[in-house]
Structure 1
Amino acid sequence: MSTRARDLLTAGYGELRHEPLGRRLRARWNGTTVVDTTRGVLLWEPRRILPVYAVPAADVRADLRPGGPALPVPDDVGVRMPALSELRLLPGVPFAVHTAEGRPLDVELDGTVLHQAAYQLDDPQLAGYVAVEFGAFDWLEEDEPVAVHPKDPFHRIEVLAGSRPVRVELDGHVLAESAHPTLLFETLLPVRYYLPVADVRVELVPSATRTGCPYKGEAVYFSPVVDGRERADLAWSYPDPLPESSRVRDLVCFYTERLDVVLDGERQDRPVTPWS
């Protein structure tokens, strides 16, 4: 019996997983190189959605010392999703929350202690390795900076031009309508419809919200004015996207989890995601 590929990808969320990186990896702190290795791996602790880097302890140019007990897993950090049968730890859960057996480590360098910025795992296949907090350092893969979090080799972005008409509605109000959408497909996420600004029918009030994505870049947000009221952060745009997503530059996208989309005359179901 055939198995849906999505189910294979998500079946391992409850397990400790790793994947050799196959490239030079460096971490810097205040200009000082703390990690320099060609033996790094990507590491997913059980239920973690995003990977972190794990490196041989021998390639860490700092003192690693016991860091006290790991933080408990909070009760409210998971979301149950129909396509994913188990609780998932979403982006934003602190690195110091661990779901694999091991010991937190403090990283001490230049007289400064970075508390629980590393984690020594008990898994025999990762003997001698420590996971390292991404946000505590500046990272390079080869000579390219890595932003937001490590990229997942099993995660990809594809941007396609479309001609199927798209209409975006909220509470019966048309927010945008376009015959020239740009469709962004991202692994395990709903398709996103990026529309020309000229096809947006409501006022978009700029928001102070910013988010980062290692595949697309930094997004700026807008609050559409619907029936005289601002609806906070329902739309976003990438004014300076990364090269792989350059085709969505300055286009506007709406959270389809929170409003209605009519595609080619057919009303779509609202997807269920962490942003619902």
Structure 2
Amino acid sequence: MALRLDHAWMRSLPELRWQPVVKRVTVRLGDQLVAVTDHPVLVFEPKRVVASYAVPLADLRVALEPGPTGPPPDYRPVGFGEGGPPLLDPSVPFAVHSADGEPVLVRAGGRTGAGFRLSDPVLHDHVVLDFDAFEWWEEDEPLLGHARDPYHRIDVRRSSRRVRISHEGVVLAESAEPRMLFEGTFPLPRYYLPRGDVVADLLPSTLDTTCAYKGRATHYDVRAGDAVLPAAAWTYEDPLDDARDVIGLVSFYQERLDLEVDGEPQERVRTPWSE
């Protein structure tokens, strides 16, 4: 029987998964070199959808110390409605672990970063490092956000579909010239609209986010009638190469709003950004 790939991927989520990487990876903590390795691996702990880099112990330039135990896993549903699988979404911090192992600390130059030594016999001679605590390079290119998954990709396509975004009957934007951004196995595209097709007021927001594939996003609070919706829209003013085709366009968190495409209401998908 034919195998549907996204279903196979979902069935593998409860497992500890890893993938060797052929890029040279450099890790720093402040001005201190932590590791340089030609043999990094990407590690997905059970139910995690975002990978972390693990480096061989032999390539570490610093010593490890025992670290504190983190909180228990906080699984959250992702998908359509409330029936999505419970996962460790990208908002769950590194300190939460779903695999057997021991927390460790890296100290260098007066700074501290967290790590995790897995008990698995295949990976026991590696240490997984908290991406947010360190500075990272693949070859000579800096990384943003988190480790990049080689199976994750972004496609941007011009479209003539008519897209309407609204909130409680108040239209925020409407366009027949969206650019649709398809990302990995995310169940819906993101719609990036020309600023001229946004009728709601966009107000500066304090939210700051970084995507490993698209770059740093500028967020906006959105005025909808008498209401102000916090951080409901964003744009990429200086995107990474994967998102250069949506530079300056505006997208909305459709999981919080009402979306119509060609006049058809779209079901909301539950994501880490639903609330």
Please give the range of the TM-score, normalised by the shorter of the 2 chains: over 0.9
The alpha carbon displacement at 1:74 in A equals 4.8
Partner of 1:34: 34
Greater CA deviation, 4-13 or 139-148? 4-13
- Map Cα deviations across residues 37-79 of structure 1 (whole Å, 9 max, x no partner): 10110001111121111111111000112224x213154x522
Whether the 8 Å CA contact 2:103–2:115 is kept in 1: the answer is: yes
TM-score (norm 2): 0.93
In the TM superposition, 1:41-190 aligns within 5 A as 41-68=41-68, 70-75=69-74, 77-82=75-80, 86-110=85-109, 112=110, 114=112, 117-189=114-186, 190=188
Alpha-carbon distance in structure 1 between the residues aligned to 2:111 and 2:41 = 24
The alpha carbon displacement at 1:219 in A equals 0.9
Alpha-carbon distance in structure 2 between the residues aligned to 1:266 and 1:125 = 49
- Map Cα deviations across residues 233-266 of structure 1 (whole Å, 9 max, x no partner): 1111111111111111111111111112221222
Q: What is the letter of the counterpart of residue 242 of structure 2?
A: E
Greater CA deviation, 1-10 or 27-36? 1-10
CA RMSD of aligned residues (A): 1.8
Q: What is the letter of the counterpart of residue 59 of structure 2?
A: D
Greater CA deviation, 155-164 or 90-99? 90-99
Secondary structure, aligned partner of 1:6: helix
Alpha-carbon distance in structure 2 between the residues aligned to 1:113 and 1:267 = 50
Q: Which of 235, 251, 254 is equivalent to 2:252?
A: 254
Q: Do structure 1's residue 195 and structure 2's residue 193 form an aligned pair?
A: yes
Q: In the superposition, relative to structure 1, how do residues 198 and 85 fare at CA in structure 2: closer, same or farther (>3 Å)?
A: closer
Alpha-carbon distance in structure 2 between the residues aligned to 1:224 and 1:60 = 47
The alpha carbon displacement at 1:93 in A equals 2.2
Q: What is the letter of the counterpart of residue 171 of structure 2?
A: V
- Map Cα deviations across residues 11-56 of structure 1 (whole Å, 9 max, x no partner): 2111111000111011012222110010110001111121111111
Whether the 8 Å CA contact 2:77–2:84 is kept in 1: the answer is: no
Secondary structure, aligned partner of 1:35: strand
**Unaligned segments of structure 2, at least 5 residues:** none
**Unaligned segments of structure 1, at least 5 residues:** none
Alpha-carbon distance in structure 2 between the residues aligned to 1:167 and 1:82 = 20
In the TM superposition, 1:213-252 aligns within 5 A as 213-252=211-250
Q: In the superposition, relative to structure 1, how do residues 177 and 81 fare at CA in structure 2: closer, same or farther (>3 Å)?
A: closer
Secondary structure, aligned partner of 2:34: strand
Structure scoring higher RCO (CA < 8 A, sep ≥ 6) equals 2
Partner of 2:2: 2
Alpha-carbon distance in structure 2 between the residues aligned to 1:154 and 1:165 = 30
TM-score (norm 1): 0.92
Secondary structure, aligned partner of 1:148: coil
Alpha-carbon distance in structure 2 between the residues aligned to 1:135 and 1:34 = 14
In the TM superposition, 1:15-26 aligns within 5 A as 15-26=15-26
Question: Percent identity over the alignment?
Answer: 43
The alpha carbon displacement at 1:113 in A equals 6.3
How many residue pairs were aligned?
A: 272
Whether the 8 Å CA contact 1:210–1:220 is kept in 2: the answer is: yes
Q: In the superposition, relative to structure 1, how do residues 212 and 80 fare at CA in structure 2: closer, same or farther (>3 Å)?
A: closer
